[in-house]
Amino acid sequence: MGLVGRSGIIPISHTQDTAGPIARTVADAAILLTAISGADANDEATRAGEKQFGQDYTRYLDPQGLRGKKIGIARKYFGISYLVDPVFESTLDVLKRAGAELVDPVEMPSQRIGGNESTVMQYEFKHGLNAYLAWLGESAPVKSLEEIIAFNNAHAERELIFFGQQIFESAVEKGPLTEKEYTDALAACRRISRDEGIDALMDRYELDAVFCPTFGPAGPTDPINGDHTLGGFSSLPAVAGYPHITVPCGNVFGLPVGASFWGRAWSEPLLIAAAYAFEQLAAARTAPRFLPGVEFSSSGGPQA
Protein backbone atom coordinates (compact mmCIF):
# COMPACT_ATOMS: atom_id res chain seq x y z
CA MET A 1 0.00 0.00 0.00
CA GLY A 2 1.40 3.37 -1.05
CA LEU A 3 3.83 2.06 -3.65
CA VAL A 4 1.50 2.48 -6.64
CA GLY A 5 -0.91 5.37 -7.17
CA ARG A 6 -4.57 4.54 -7.59
CA SER A 7 -5.94 7.46 -9.60
CA GLY A 8 -8.60 6.24 -12.01
CA ILE A 9 -9.07 2.86 -10.34
CA ILE A 10 -12.65 2.17 -9.27
CA PRO A 11 -12.22 1.90 -5.48
CA ILE A 12 -13.43 -0.73 -3.06
CA SER A 13 -11.42 -0.20 0.14
CA HIS A 14 -8.73 2.47 0.18
CA THR A 15 -6.89 1.01 3.18
CA GLN A 16 -6.75 -2.53 1.78
CA ASP A 17 -6.71 -2.42 -2.01
CA THR A 18 -4.03 -1.33 -4.42
CA ALA A 19 -2.77 -2.06 -7.92
CA GLY A 20 0.07 -4.41 -8.67
CA PRO A 21 1.76 -6.06 -11.65
CA ILE A 22 0.34 -9.19 -13.26
CA ALA A 23 2.80 -10.84 -15.62
CA ARG A 24 4.00 -14.13 -17.08
CA THR A 25 7.22 -14.11 -15.07
CA VAL A 26 8.72 -12.54 -11.98
CA ALA A 27 11.12 -10.63 -14.22
CA ASP A 28 8.25 -9.10 -16.17
CA ALA A 29 6.48 -8.25 -12.92
CA ALA A 30 9.61 -6.48 -11.66
CA ILE A 31 9.83 -4.45 -14.87
CA LEU A 32 6.19 -3.46 -14.59
CA LEU A 33 6.43 -2.60 -10.89
CA THR A 34 9.38 -0.34 -11.66
CA ALA A 35 7.24 1.47 -14.23
CA ILE A 36 4.04 1.91 -12.21
CA SER A 37 5.40 2.72 -8.75
CA GLY A 38 5.67 6.37 -7.80
CA ALA A 39 3.98 9.39 -6.30
CA ASP A 40 0.35 10.20 -7.06
CA ALA A 41 -0.95 13.63 -6.10
CA ASN A 42 -4.47 12.19 -5.91
CA ASP A 43 -3.54 9.30 -3.62
CA GLU A 44 -2.39 10.28 -0.14
CA ALA A 45 -1.22 6.72 0.54
CA THR A 46 1.76 7.26 -1.77
CA ARG A 47 3.22 9.76 0.68
CA ALA A 48 4.21 6.78 2.83
CA GLY A 49 6.09 5.24 -0.09
CA GLU A 50 8.30 8.20 -0.96
CA LYS A 51 11.51 6.50 0.20
CA GLN A 52 10.75 3.53 -2.06
CA PHE A 53 10.24 5.44 -5.29
CA GLY A 54 12.82 5.39 -8.06
CA GLN A 55 13.94 1.81 -7.49
CA ASP A 56 14.70 -0.49 -10.37
CA TYR A 57 13.14 -3.72 -9.13
CA THR A 58 14.92 -5.76 -11.78
CA ARG A 59 18.05 -5.35 -9.64
CA TYR A 60 16.57 -7.92 -7.27
CA LEU A 61 16.14 -10.70 -9.83
CA ASP A 62 18.71 -12.91 -8.15
CA PRO A 63 18.75 -16.67 -8.88
CA GLN A 64 20.42 -17.05 -5.47
CA GLY A 65 17.75 -14.93 -3.81
CA LEU A 66 16.67 -17.69 -1.39
CA ARG A 67 20.14 -18.76 -0.29
CA GLY A 68 20.55 -18.23 3.44
CA LYS A 69 17.05 -16.74 3.80
CA LYS A 70 14.91 -17.83 6.71
CA ILE A 71 11.49 -18.75 5.35
CA GLY A 72 8.51 -19.53 7.57
CA ILE A 73 6.11 -22.21 6.33
CA ALA A 74 2.52 -21.22 7.13
CA ARG A 75 0.98 -24.69 7.22
CA LYS A 76 -2.30 -23.19 8.41
CA TYR A 77 -2.99 -22.52 4.74
CA PHE A 78 -2.06 -25.99 3.52
CA GLY A 79 -4.65 -28.77 3.50
CA ILE A 80 -6.51 -27.45 0.45
CA SER A 81 -7.31 -30.86 -1.06
CA TYR A 82 -5.81 -34.31 -1.55
CA LEU A 83 -5.01 -33.34 -5.15
CA VAL A 84 -3.41 -29.99 -4.37
CA ASP A 85 -1.51 -30.79 -1.19
CA PRO A 86 1.21 -32.92 -2.86
CA VAL A 87 2.00 -30.00 -5.17
CA PHE A 88 2.69 -27.73 -2.23
CA GLU A 89 4.62 -30.35 -0.29
CA SER A 90 6.96 -30.69 -3.27
CA THR A 91 7.61 -26.93 -3.21
CA LEU A 92 9.34 -27.26 0.14
CA ASP A 93 12.06 -29.31 -1.51
CA VAL A 94 12.48 -26.52 -4.06
CA LEU A 95 13.02 -24.02 -1.24
CA LYS A 96 15.60 -26.29 0.38
CA ARG A 97 17.46 -26.85 -2.88
CA ALA A 98 17.53 -23.08 -3.35
CA GLY A 99 19.41 -22.78 -0.06
CA ALA A 100 16.64 -21.47 2.17
CA GLU A 101 16.44 -22.26 5.87
CA LEU A 102 12.88 -23.41 6.59
CA VAL A 103 11.01 -22.84 9.82
CA ASP A 104 8.31 -25.47 9.44
CA PRO A 105 5.75 -24.80 10.66
CA VAL A 106 5.32 -21.30 11.99
CA GLU A 107 2.41 -20.77 14.34
CA MET A 108 0.20 -18.12 12.79
CA PRO A 109 -1.14 -15.41 15.08
CA SER A 110 -4.82 -15.37 15.85
CA GLN A 111 -6.69 -13.52 13.13
CA ARG A 112 -9.84 -11.97 14.54
CA ILE A 113 -10.26 -9.65 11.57
CA GLY A 114 -13.39 -10.84 9.79
CA GLY A 115 -16.14 -8.59 11.15
CA ASN A 116 -13.87 -5.57 11.42
CA GLU A 117 -12.63 -5.98 7.85
CA SER A 118 -16.19 -6.17 6.54
CA THR A 119 -17.13 -3.01 8.44
CA VAL A 120 -14.12 -1.15 7.07
CA MET A 121 -14.90 -2.30 3.54
CA GLN A 122 -18.51 -1.13 3.70
CA TYR A 123 -17.63 2.33 4.98
CA GLU A 124 -14.74 2.79 2.57
CA PHE A 125 -16.62 1.44 -0.42
CA LYS A 126 -19.37 4.03 -0.04
CA HIS A 127 -16.92 6.87 0.60
CA GLY A 128 -14.49 5.83 -2.15
CA LEU A 129 -17.07 5.14 -4.84
CA ASN A 130 -18.86 8.45 -4.25
CA ALA A 131 -15.52 10.29 -4.40
CA TYR A 132 -14.61 8.45 -7.61
CA LEU A 133 -17.89 9.37 -9.27
CA ALA A 134 -17.42 13.00 -8.22
CA TRP A 135 -13.89 12.90 -9.70
CA LEU A 136 -15.34 11.71 -13.01
CA GLY A 137 -17.59 14.78 -13.05
CA GLU A 138 -20.20 15.18 -15.76
CA SER A 139 -18.95 12.12 -17.64
CA ALA A 140 -20.42 9.84 -14.97
CA PRO A 141 -23.99 8.74 -15.79
CA VAL A 142 -24.61 8.16 -12.08
CA LYS A 143 -23.36 10.37 -9.25
CA SER A 144 -23.51 8.21 -6.11
CA LEU A 145 -23.88 4.72 -4.71
CA GLU A 146 -27.54 5.54 -4.07
CA GLU A 147 -28.07 6.22 -7.76
CA ILE A 148 -26.32 2.96 -8.72
CA ILE A 149 -28.66 1.02 -6.44
CA ALA A 150 -31.66 2.81 -7.91
CA PHE A 151 -30.47 2.10 -11.47
CA ASN A 152 -30.05 -1.60 -10.71
CA ASN A 153 -33.52 -1.77 -9.19
CA ALA A 154 -35.02 0.01 -12.18
CA HIS A 155 -33.31 -2.45 -14.56
CA ALA A 156 -33.50 -5.56 -12.39
CA GLU A 157 -34.40 -7.78 -15.32
CA ARG A 158 -30.90 -7.14 -16.71
CA GLU A 159 -28.75 -6.13 -13.73
CA LEU A 160 -30.02 -8.42 -10.96
CA ILE A 161 -30.68 -11.70 -12.78
CA PHE A 162 -27.93 -13.68 -11.08
CA PHE A 163 -26.66 -11.44 -8.28
CA GLY A 164 -28.30 -9.12 -5.78
CA GLN A 165 -26.79 -5.93 -4.41
CA GLN A 166 -26.82 -6.65 -0.70
CA ILE A 167 -23.30 -5.28 -0.22
CA PHE A 168 -24.28 -2.05 -1.95
CA GLU A 169 -27.36 -1.77 0.23
CA SER A 170 -25.49 -2.39 3.47
CA ALA A 171 -22.70 0.02 2.48
CA VAL A 172 -25.08 2.86 1.57
CA GLU A 173 -26.41 2.85 5.14
CA LYS A 174 -22.97 3.63 6.57
CA GLY A 175 -22.09 7.15 7.63
CA PRO A 176 -18.91 9.24 7.22
CA LEU A 177 -15.41 7.94 7.95
CA THR A 178 -15.43 9.86 11.22
CA GLU A 179 -17.93 7.49 12.84
CA LYS A 180 -16.66 5.52 15.81
CA GLU A 181 -17.77 2.20 14.35
CA TYR A 182 -15.43 2.78 11.41
CA THR A 183 -12.44 4.19 13.29
CA ASP A 184 -12.60 1.38 15.86
CA ALA A 185 -12.83 -1.29 13.13
CA LEU A 186 -9.93 0.22 11.17
CA ALA A 187 -7.74 0.42 14.28
CA ALA A 188 -8.52 -3.22 15.06
CA CYS A 189 -7.69 -4.33 11.51
CA ARG A 190 -4.33 -2.59 11.59
CA ARG A 191 -3.42 -3.85 15.05
CA ILE A 192 -4.42 -7.47 14.36
CA SER A 193 -2.89 -7.69 10.88
CA ARG A 194 0.29 -5.69 11.55
CA ASP A 195 1.42 -5.38 15.19
CA GLU A 196 -0.14 -8.65 16.37
CA GLY A 197 -0.02 -10.29 12.95
CA ILE A 198 2.70 -10.15 10.31
CA ASP A 199 5.17 -8.03 12.29
CA ALA A 200 4.79 -10.22 15.38
CA LEU A 201 5.21 -13.39 13.33
CA MET A 202 8.35 -12.11 11.60
CA ASP A 203 9.86 -10.95 14.89
CA ARG A 204 9.07 -14.16 16.77
CA TYR A 205 10.80 -16.44 14.26
CA GLU A 206 13.29 -13.88 12.88
CA LEU A 207 11.97 -14.52 9.38
CA ASP A 208 12.89 -12.99 6.06
CA ALA A 209 9.60 -14.06 4.44
CA VAL A 210 6.67 -16.42 4.88
CA PHE A 211 5.61 -19.07 2.34
CA CYS A 212 2.26 -20.79 1.76
CA PRO A 213 -0.21 -21.80 -0.94
CA THR A 214 -1.96 -18.93 -2.69
CA PHE A 215 -5.19 -20.71 -3.65
CA GLY A 216 -6.33 -23.97 -5.10
CA PRO A 217 -6.99 -24.30 -8.84
CA ALA A 218 -9.55 -21.99 -10.39
CA GLY A 219 -13.16 -23.09 -10.29
CA PRO A 220 -15.72 -22.67 -13.06
CA THR A 221 -17.77 -19.49 -13.22
CA ASP A 222 -21.08 -20.29 -11.56
CA PRO A 223 -23.62 -17.46 -11.46
CA ILE A 224 -26.15 -19.66 -9.66
CA ASN A 225 -24.18 -20.94 -6.66
CA GLY A 226 -21.36 -18.41 -6.64
CA ASP A 227 -17.61 -18.85 -6.48
CA HIS A 228 -16.09 -22.24 -5.73
CA THR A 229 -12.77 -22.24 -3.90
CA LEU A 230 -10.91 -24.94 -2.02
CA GLY A 231 -9.22 -22.45 0.28
CA GLY A 232 -6.10 -20.37 0.21
CA PHE A 233 -4.46 -17.20 1.36
CA SER A 234 -4.39 -13.47 0.62
CA SER A 235 -6.41 -11.56 3.23
CA LEU A 236 -3.76 -10.98 5.90
CA PRO A 237 -1.27 -8.91 3.84
CA ALA A 238 -4.16 -7.17 2.07
CA VAL A 239 -5.65 -5.94 5.35
CA ALA A 240 -2.18 -4.98 6.59
CA GLY A 241 -1.33 -3.22 3.32
CA TYR A 242 1.87 -5.30 3.09
CA PRO A 243 3.44 -6.88 -0.03
CA HIS A 244 2.53 -10.33 -1.32
CA ILE A 245 3.82 -12.06 -4.46
CA THR A 246 2.50 -15.28 -5.96
CA VAL A 247 4.33 -17.48 -8.46
CA PRO A 248 3.31 -20.71 -10.23
CA CYS A 249 4.30 -23.86 -8.39
CA GLY A 250 2.49 -26.65 -10.22
CA ASN A 251 -0.66 -27.87 -11.93
CA VAL A 252 -3.71 -29.97 -11.10
CA PHE A 253 -5.40 -31.46 -14.18
CA GLY A 254 -3.91 -28.68 -16.26
CA LEU A 255 -5.05 -25.89 -13.93
CA PRO A 256 -2.21 -23.85 -12.37
CA VAL A 257 -1.77 -23.34 -8.65
CA GLY A 258 0.45 -20.73 -7.07
CA ALA A 259 2.70 -20.31 -4.05
CA SER A 260 2.94 -17.09 -2.05
CA PHE A 261 5.82 -15.19 -0.49
CA TRP A 262 4.86 -12.38 1.86
CA GLY A 263 6.31 -10.34 4.69
CA ARG A 264 6.88 -6.93 6.21
CA ALA A 265 5.99 -3.56 4.78
CA TRP A 266 8.28 -2.43 1.94
CA SER A 267 9.93 -5.85 1.61
CA GLU A 268 9.30 -5.99 -2.16
CA PRO A 269 13.01 -6.34 -3.01
CA LEU A 270 13.42 -9.39 -0.79
CA LEU A 271 10.15 -10.98 -1.97
CA ILE A 272 11.01 -10.45 -5.63
CA ALA A 273 14.40 -12.07 -5.11
CA ALA A 274 12.85 -15.03 -3.28
CA ALA A 275 10.10 -15.53 -5.86
CA TYR A 276 12.55 -15.24 -8.75
CA ALA A 277 14.91 -17.83 -7.27
CA PHE A 278 11.96 -20.15 -6.62
CA GLU A 279 10.63 -19.64 -10.14
CA GLN A 280 13.96 -20.49 -11.78
CA LEU A 281 14.30 -23.74 -9.88
CA ALA A 282 10.65 -24.84 -9.90
CA ALA A 283 10.07 -24.00 -13.60
CA ALA A 284 6.39 -24.69 -12.93
CA ARG A 285 4.67 -22.32 -15.33
CA THR A 286 3.01 -23.91 -18.34
CA ALA A 287 1.56 -21.89 -21.20
CA PRO A 288 -2.25 -21.94 -21.30
CA ARG A 289 -3.74 -24.08 -24.07
CA PHE A 290 -7.12 -22.28 -24.20
CA LEU A 291 -9.08 -25.50 -24.27
CA PRO A 292 -12.84 -25.14 -24.78
CA GLY A 293 -13.42 -27.21 -21.65
CA VAL A 294 -12.33 -30.24 -19.68
CA GLU A 295 -14.37 -33.41 -19.33
CA PHE A 296 -13.64 -36.36 -17.08
CA SER A 297 -13.69 -39.92 -18.30
CA SER A 298 -15.18 -42.80 -16.33
CA SER A 299 -11.68 -43.58 -15.12
CA GLY A 300 -11.45 -40.14 -13.55
CA GLY A 301 -8.83 -38.72 -15.90
CA PRO A 302 -9.29 -35.39 -17.69
CA GLN A 303 -9.95 -35.29 -21.42
CA ALA A 304 -9.88 -32.15 -23.54
Residues 70 and 49 in one domain: no
Where residue 86 falls (left for φ over 0; alpha for ψ -120 to 50; beta otherwise) is: alpha
Residues contacting 288, CB < 8 A, separation 6+: none
For 129-181, give the DSSP string. HHHHHHHHGGG-S--SHHHHHHHHHHTHHHHSSS---HHHHHHHT---TTSHH
Instruction: Report residue 16's pLDDT band, with 50, 70 and 90 as the boundaries.
Output: very high
The pLDDT tens digits of the residues spanning 106-125 come to 998 877 787 999 999 999 99
DSSP-derived pairing of the beta strands 209-213 and 70-73: parallel
Residues 172 and 232 in one domain: no
Which CATH number fits the domain that encloses residue 101?
3.90.1300.10
Residues 41 and 74 in one domain: no
Mean predicted confidence (pLDDT) in 41-57? 95
pLDDT at site 230? 80
Residues 178 and 215 in one domain: no
pLDDT at site 296? 55
Residues 247 and 123 in one domain: no
Give the domain extent around 118.
Answer: 114-183
Domain total of the chain: 3
Residues 163 and 72 in one domain: no
Phi, psi of 150, deg, nearest 5: -65, -40
Cβ proximity of 44 and 7 under 8 Å: no
Residue 301 has pLDDT above 60, yes or no: no
The kind and range of the H/E element at 302 are strand 302-303
Q: Does residue 29 sit within a domain?
A: yes
The pLDDT tens digits of the residues spanning 67-102 come to 999 999 999 999 888 888 999 999 999 999 999 999
pLDDT at site 210? 98
Residues 69 and 57 in one domain: no
Residues 88 and 119 in one domain: no
Q: Does residue 1 sit within a domain?
A: yes
The pLDDT tens digits of the residues spanning 270-288 come to 999 999 999 999 999 998 8
Residues 285 and 214 in one domain: yes
Q: Does residue 214 sit within a domain?
A: yes
Residues 298 and 270 in one domain: yes
Residue 295 has pLDDT above 80, yes or no: no
pLDDT at site 291? 76
Q: Does residue 243 sit within a domain?
A: yes
Cβ proximity of 262 and 209 under 8 Å: yes
Mean predicted confidence (pLDDT) in 176-182? 98
Q: Does residue 276 sit within a domain?
A: yes
Residues 145 and 96 in one domain: no
Residues 100 and 227 in one domain: yes
